[in-house]
Structure 1
Amino acid sequence: MSSPLLSGWGRSPPSSPFVTPPAKLRLSRRLACRPRRLAALVALAVVATIVLFHARERPVVQRARQHAERLAQRVGRRRKTDPFLGLQYEEAAGELVYPAVSTPASSPGEPSLDSQPHPIHYLMREAEAAWEAKVSRQSQTLEEAVAEYERRYRQPPPRGFDKWFNFAQSNGVQLLDEYDSIHARLQPFAALRPSVLRERNLILQNVSQWDVGQTFWMHPLTVTIKVSENGSKVEAEGPMRHENHRSDQVMALLEGIAQFLPDLNMTITGHDVPWVVLSGEHKQMHVDAAERGEYIDDVASFKENWDLDGWALACPPDSPIRAAGTLLERLDWQKPDKTSFVGLDHTEAMDVCYHPDKQPLHGFTAWTGPRPGLLFPIFSFSTSSLNSDILLPPLEQYERTPGPDPAWRDKKHDRALWRGSTTGADLTNAHARKYSQRMRLARIPAATGVVTVPLASRDREGVPGPVEEVTALASSFADEYLDVMFTGGPAQCGDEASCAKVAREFEWDGYMSEAEQNEYKYILDVDGNGWSGRFHRLMSTNSLVLKSTLFPEWYSERIQPWLHYVPVKTDYTDLYPILAFFKGAPGDGRGGHDELAGKIALAGKEWAEQNWRWVDMQAYLLRLLLEYARLVNRDNPLASYDYE
C-alpha cells in the first residue's frame, strides 16, 4: 500500500474542474399558540423573573432579566393575535419547505393551508429575533468571555486570550463570543501530536526530512508566513510569494496584532479554492479523539475506499450523498414538490453532504471529487462543507468603495442585477458548461414555459395575510425581475471550440461601473472559482443583496440571513418566489413588499459598517492564530499554551 502522505490529495495535484443540498431529517414543525405551551412560557418567564430579581445587581443577570421581560411581552402579544398561527412547514438541512410536503390535517381552530401567510414574513421575523438574542447575550467582561469559552468548548482559552479580548473589545467588535467555526475547523487537528503538525507544516514548505527527493504536490501552491521576535518580524516566502498579493494582504492584517502572537509559521495557499479533504470516517475519528483528549496515528489508520467517489467519501457515513448514486443521479435526489427557501442557517443549507441534488450544480463540486488523504494544516481563503482547510479572511476587493449610491427610494431599477465573467467552472467540461452556477444563472432569462410563485397579496396594514399562487410566463418574470448577463467574452473555457460554444449561446455586455450597478435595488452575488470578492462592496451599498454560495466564510456566524441579506439556493428555484414577494406580481406589482426589501438593504449596509471592518478581520485572525499556536506547541515543556 502506498503511503497516505502521497495518496489521494497527496499523490499529485488533482485536475480539479471548477456544482448543492435536501435532508438530514425532515423535522415537521408547527407554529401554533397552544394553550399549554402558552402557559408553560408564561410560567417560565415568571420563574425566570423571580430568580433574576434576587441577583439583579450582576450585569449578566440584568441582561438575562431583560430577556425574560421581552419573552413575557412576546407571549402577551401572541395571546392577542399571531398571524403565524398554524403556519406549517418542514425544515430540511437548513432549508424551509412550504407548505409541508406531507401536511397533517389542521387541528381544530387552526387555519387551513390556503390561509397561511407567506413564509418570508416568518423568516424575516425569526431572523430579527435571532440576531437580537445573539447580540444581547455577548460577554461584556474578560471573566464572562472566559466562562463562555469554557462552557462552549470544555477547555480553557488559549494563551493570549486576554490580549485578544482587550483588542476586540477596545475596537468595538460586536460579537465577542461567536467563533464556533474556528473551534470546529481546528478540532480535528487536536487529534494529531504537535510534532506531527509541525512536521506536516514543514512538508508543505518542502523543507522536511521526510522522503527526501520528493516534492509534496501542494508545495507549489503555497506561501509560508513567519512571525518571530515577539511579533516584530513578519516575513513570507514560498513558490506563490509573488504570484499574487494574498500573502501581502495577510501580513497587512497582522500589523498591529502580531505582537500578541508567539513565534509561528502558517502556510497558506494563494489560490481561490480549498484543497484539504478527509474521508468522513477519518474526520470523525479525529473529532472523537480530540474530544477524548487523545492522539491518533492517522497514517496507520488510513484506509482507501474505492466504492464511492471522492466527494461522497468526504461526507459523514450516514449522510444522504452516500446513497444518492452518481453525479447525474444526484440531480434528481428527493426534490420537494413545494416551494423552499434557505432558512436561518445559510451554512447548513450549503452542505453538499445533506443536499446531494445540488452537488452537480456548482463548478467546484461538479465532478467526482479528489481522493481523501491526510490532514495538513493549510490556511485557505475559502472552504466548503467537504474541506478541512483552515479558513482565513480574504481581502480581495475589500478596499473597493461602493461608489455613488442613491438611497433605496431613489434607485432607478427594481430588477435584480448580475454581471460577471464565466469563471467558476472548467468550460471544456460539457457538464460544467451546462450545470455550473454562473452558466445556469445566465440561462434563466431565456427559459420558456410558465412559472408559479406564492404571492403575499392579501396582507393588510402590516398584518400578513394568506398567500395566493400566481402563474405567468417565464419570460414575463424574466423581463420584470432580472437583468443578468455575462460581460466581456468567454473566459476559463480552455480551448477554441469550448469558447466558441459559450460565445454563441449567450448575449454579452460590456463593463458596468459601480455607479451604474448601484442604480439597481436588487443585486445578485454568485460564486466564481471560490468565494465572492465583491460581497463586501455590495453589502456596503443601499441595495439588497441576494447571495447564492457554496462557501461559508469567516463572518458566516456573524451575519444573519433574512435580516442583513437574502440567501438564494444554489439551484435558483427560489429566486422568482423571493423577487415576487418583494416586487409583487408581474404586470401589476400587487403583493409587493418594497419597504421590507429596503429594510433588509439598510440593515445589511449597517451590518457591513459595524461588523466587517479591518479590526473585525484582525480580531478573527488573532483568535484563530492563538488557537493554532496552542495546537502546534502543546508539547512545550517550558510553557503552557493555555490561558491561566
Structure 2
Amino acid sequence: MTYGALEMTAYLTAFTTTIPAFEFIWSHRNPFPQTPSSATTLSFLLIFFGQWAYRWIQQELGDKDPMRSSRQFLLFVVLCVLIFPLWLKKDYVHFHPIDMLMYDATLHHNKYLETVGSTSSLAEAVNGYTQRYNRNPPPGFDVWFEYAKNRSVLIVDEYDQIYHDLLPFRAISPADLRRQTWEMVSNPWNEISGITIRDGEAKVQENVLPTHRWMLEGVAVLINSFAQHLPDMDLAFNLNDESRVAVPYEQIKSLREQGRAQDKSGSSSWSNDRAGGWLPIPETERTETVFRDNSWRNSFRAFGSIGCPPSSFARTSPHISSQSHICSSCVAPHSLGQFVGNWSDAADICHQPDIAHLHGFYLSPAAFKTSYQLMPVFSQSKPHAYNDILYPSAWNYMDKVVYAPTNPQGTPGQEVYHAGFPDLPFEEKENILFWRGATSEGVSSDSGAWRGMARQRLVHMANNLTNHPHDAVTVLLPSPADHSKYQYQTIPGAQVKKLGLQTDIAIVDFIARCGGKDCTDQSQEFNLVSPTDFQAHWRYRFLFDLDGAGFSGRFLPFLYSHSLPFKTALFREWYDSRLTAWLHFVPQDIRLHDVWSSLAYFAGVNGTMFGHKIWWKPHLKEAEMIAEAGRDWAAKVLRKEDMECYFFRLLLEWARLSDDNRDELGFVL
C-alpha cells in the first residue's frame, strides 16, 4: 500500500542482482572463466543509474520527493567501495587447482578402498552383498567367490555398476526378457547378435554379421573361462560402437522404482530346463523392430537428453551451442576453475547441453539404431543417461591393442614383444603430448559437423592455431607480478607454442567418414601423417586419449605403461568406478579448454610471452607419481582376470533376472 508494484519490482530487481554479484566479488577464489573487470564494473553502474533514472522519472511526475544530491553521491561512493576489491584481486589464484585435485584424489581413493573392503571369507562376502544390495546373492555366488580368490581379484564387494544397469529390468518379467532377447537377435537389421550358453559352453549364434564375428567370438572366449559354472541362457550383444537404449526419464525412473519394490530373493537354485525358455533363431528373418535409425543426424535432443530430469539444463535450454565460447554454466558444476574437479559429473550431460555440438556421437553418429523402450542390450560402453548393460570389451580382452614394449618390466601375461620400442623411465621420455588417430568419431557430409568433433578440435588446437579470437587460449601460469600466485592469462593461439609446450598430435592416413566439401575442408585443415607402430607411444611422457565412435580401446594399454595418460571421454565403461582421476590419470574436459594449462603444469614452461621471458619448473615428480599409481592400480584391478570376474558376476545376475522363479533364487550359507 505504501509502494507500487512497479516500484517494488525495480527495487527487488536491483537488490537481487547486486547482492550475489557482490558476494562473488568478495569471495571468489578461482576466477575462471575470466570476466573483464570493466564489464563487471559497467554492469553495476548500469544498475545504479537505472535505479537513479527510475527515481528521477518518479520525481518529475510528482510521485516522489526529490532525493538530495548528497544522498545520491553517498550511494554512489558506497557502490564504488563495494566493487573496489574487484580491481585489487586481478584474478589471482592463490593455489594451483591441480595440487588440490591431486590431494583430493588420494582421499577419495582411500575412501573407495574402504568401500570395496578386504573380504577374505565367503561369509563376509555374502554379508557385504546383502548389506549393499538388500537381497541375497544369486545362486552360484560361492563358486564365483572361489573363482575370484583363485585369481587374486582385489575387488570383491563393489559391483554397483551391475546393480544399477540391471535394476530397471526387474520391472520386466523373465519371459518378456527372454522374448526381447530373441526378437533383437532374430532381425539382422538391428545389428545385434547373440551368444548362447548351453551345458556350460558359450557359442556364437549363426546369424552374426561376418564383419563383427571376431568380436562375438572374443566375447565367447571370455565367457568360456567360467561358462562351466553358468546355467543355460542367451545374451544379445550390440555390434556397433554407439549405444542403443535411451529410455525417457519419466519411464526409467518408474522402472527403477518398480525394480526396487520387486527386488526380492530367496535361497533356491536355478530352475530346471532353463534352455526351454529361450527360443531358437528362426529360419526366416524377422523384420519387426523397436529400434529407430538416426544415423548421420544430431541425436542429442531426440535421444541424448531424454534421460535427464525435465528441470535439467539439457532439457530446459537445449539450444545452447558452444563451439567457439565456453558455456560457463555448463562447465562450473564439475570443475575447479579451469580443471575437471569431478570426473563422474563431467560425464553427466544433463547440465551440459552444449555437448550436443561437441562430440561426434551427438553431432552425427555413423551407425545409430536406438530404442526408447528398455531392451536388454549388452554394450561395451555408453554415455550418461543410456541404459545399455555394460560388459568388458573383447577389444581389450583379445589384445586388439596391447601394451608390449621391448622391456615389459614384469608386466604379467605379455608374451609378444616389439623390438625397438622400450618403455623408458619417465624422466627419459620425450617431454611431448602425443596422439595419433582417425576421424572415426562421427560422419560429416556437407554439414560442417566435423568442426565440433572432439578429435578434430584437438588436432586443430594443437596444430592450426591462429590469431583469430576464437583460437585464443587461456593458460594458468605463475603471475608475472607474484610468482607465488597464479593467474589465468589469455594468449593468442599463434603464440601458445612460444611457451615451450610441445605436442605431436595428428590424424593418420586419410580423412574417414566424410562426404562432399567436408572431405576437402578437412584435408586442407589437417596435415595427415603415416601410421606409427602402437608401441612407439612409450617414447613420450604424455599420451592423450579420446573416444571414437565409442569407447577408446587404447586407454588400458596407456595405463599399463610408464607414460602419463591425459583422457577426455563421453563414454563410460565397466571399470570406471575403479579409477580415480588425478591419481591414476589426468582428466580433461571434453571442451579441451584445460589441455594447455594441464600440460604447462606437468611439462613446464620455458619460452616467451608478450616479449617477456617466462619459465616454470615442470612438475615431473607429480606426473610420474600419477603415471606409476595408474600403472600399479591397473595391474591389480584391470587385468584379464578382473574382466572375467566382472563378467562372471554380471551373468549370474542376468541368469537370476531371466529365471521364471527369480524371486525365490539366492545363495545363503
Bucket of the pairwise TM-score, normalised by the shorter protein: 0.7 to 0.9
Question: Is 1:130 aligned to 2:105, yes or no?
Answer: no
Greater C-alpha radius of gyration: 2
* 1:197-232 residue CA offsets vs partner (Å, 9 max, x unmatched): 1111111122xxxxxxxx5852xx122111111x14
Residue 249, structure 1, aligned to residue 196, structure 2: no
What is the aligned partner in structure 1 of residue 545 from structure 2?
Answer: 525
Q: CA deviation at 1:573?
A: 0.8
Where do residues 46-195 of structure 1 align in structure 2 (5 Å cutoff)? 114=92, 116-137=94-115, 138-140=117-119, 141-195=121-175
> What corresponds to 2:592 in structure 1?
572
Which of these residues, 571, 575, 587, is aligned with residue 551 of structure 1?
571
Per-residue CA distance 1:165-198 (angstroms, 9 max, x = gap)? 2211221212222211111111111111111111
- The alpha carbon displacement at 1:373 in A equals 1.9
Q: Residue 209 of structure 2 is aligned with which of 240, 244, 247?
A: 240
Percent sequence identity is: 29
**Structure 1 position 370, deviation (Å):** 7.5
- 1:373 maps to 372
SS in 1 for 2:205: strand
Contact persistence 2:308–2:385 (CA under 8 A): yes
Select the residue among 310, 331, 335 that pairs with 1:317: 310
2:196·2:234 contact (CA, 8 Å) conserved in 1?
yes
Aligned equivalents of 2:392, 2:662: Cα separation in 1: 29
1:419 counterpart = 2:436: yes
Kept after mapping to 1: 8 A contact 2:305/2:349: no
- Contact residue 376 and residue 389 of structure 2 kept, 8 A: yes
Kindly provide the CA deviation profile for residues 320-348 of structure 1, in whole angstroms up to 9, marking residues without a partner as x: 1001133647986535699332224x232
| Distance (Å, rounded) in 2 between the aligned partners of 1:117 and 1:317 | 37
Residues 226 and 241 (structure 1), Cα distance of their counterparts in 2 relative to 1, 3 Å cut: farther
SS of corresponding position for 2:305: helix
2:185 corresponding residue in structure 1: 205
Task: State TM-score, norm by structure 1.
Answer: 0.74
Partner residue, 1:613 = 639
8 Å CA contact retained: 1:139, 1:145: no
**Structure 2 residue identity aligned to 1:385:** H
Alpha-carbon spacing, 1:372–1:316, altered in 2? closer, same or farther (3 Å): farther
Query: Residue 633 of structure 1 aligns to a residue in which SS?
Result: coil
The code of the aligned residue for 1:606 comes to D
The equivalences for 1:448-527 within 5 A come to 448-449=466-467, 450-455=472-477, 466-478=485-497, 480-493=501-514, 495-527=515-547
Partners of 1:147 and 1:630 lie apart in 2 by 19
Give the Cα–Cα distance (whole angstroms) in 2 for the partners of residues 610 and 421 of structure 1: 31
C-alpha contact (below 8 Å) 2:392/2:643 kept by paired residues: yes
Partners of 1:194 and 1:524 in 2: how far apart? 43
2: CA distance, partners of 1:484 / 1:329 = 23
CA contact (8 A) 2:222 2:394 kept: no
CA distance in 1, matches of 2:224, 2:34: 49
Q: Is residue 540 of structure 1 aligned with residue 560 of structure 2?
A: yes
**Cα deviation digits, residues 283-333 of structure 1 (max 9, x gap):** 1110111112189xxxxxxxxxx9963333232223210011336479865
CA contact (8 A) 1:279 1:372 kept: no
How far the C-alpha of 1:568 sits from its partner, in A, is 0.6
Checking the alignment, whether the CA contact within 8 Å between 2:30 and 2:93 is kept in structure 1 is no
Letter aligned with residue 476 of structure 2: P
CA deviation vs aligned residue, 1:226-261 (integer Å, no higher than 9, x gap): 1111x1454433332663411111111112211221
Contact kept in structure 2, 1:98 and 1:340, CA below 8 Å: no
- CA positional deviation for 1:584: 2.4
Aligned to 2:57: none
Equivalent position of 1:386 in the other structure:
385
C-alpha contact 1:415 1:522 (8 A) present in aligned 2? yes
Between the aligned partners of 1:402 and 1:589, the Cα distance in structure 2 is: 36
Which letter does structure 2 place at the counterpart of 1:640?
L
- Secondary structure of 2:394's counterpart equals coil
Give the counterpart letter for 2:473 in structure 1.
V
Distance 2:361 2:450 in 1: 13
**Higher helix residue share:** 2
Question: What RMSD, in angstroms, separates the aligned Cα atoms of the two structures?
Answer: 3.6
TM-score, normalised relative to structure 2: 0.71
**5+ unaligned residues in a row in structure 2: which ranges?**
1-26, 41-81, 84-88, 265-298, 406-421, 608-613
Does 2:455 align with 1:433? no
CA distance in 2, matches of 1:414, 1:242: 40
For 1:580-619, what aligned pairs fall within 5 Å after superposition? Answer: 580-587=600-607, 588-619=614-645
Shift of residue 112 of structure 1?
Answer: 12
SS at match of 1:172: coil
Q: Secondary structure at the match of 1:223?
A: strand
The 1:371–1:164 alpha-carbon spacing in structure 2 relative to 1, beyond 3 Å, is: closer
Q: Which moved more, 1:550-559 or 1:346-355?
A: 346-355
Q: Report the secondary structure of 2:450's partner residue.
A: helix
Point out the more displaced range, 500-509 or 181-190. Answer: 500-509
Aligned-pair CA distance for 1:591: 4.3
Give the aligned residue type for 2:558: L
State the alpha-carbon separation in 1 of the partners of residues 510 and 168 from structure 2.
43
Residues 1:248 and 1:606: Cα distance change in structure 2 (over 3 Å):
same
- Give distance in 1, aligned partners of 2:478 and 2:137: 48
Inter-CA distance 430–348: structure 2 relative to 1 (3 Å threshold): same
Following superposition, the deviation at residue 457 of structure 1 comes to 7.8
Give the AA of the match of 1:437: A
1:481-530 deviations in Å (ceiling 9; x for gaps): 3221111111111x354322221221111122234322111010011111
Shift in CA distance, 183/529, structure 1 to aligned 2, threshold 3 Å:
same
- 401-410 or 391-400, larger mean C-alpha shift: 391-400
- Note the C-alpha offset of 1:421: 0.8
Structure 2 CA distance for partners of 1:122 and 1:233, relative to 1, 3 Å: closer
Confirm or deny that 1:410 pairs with 2:410: no
Letter in 1 for 2:113: V
Q: Which amino acid aligns with 2:151?
A: N
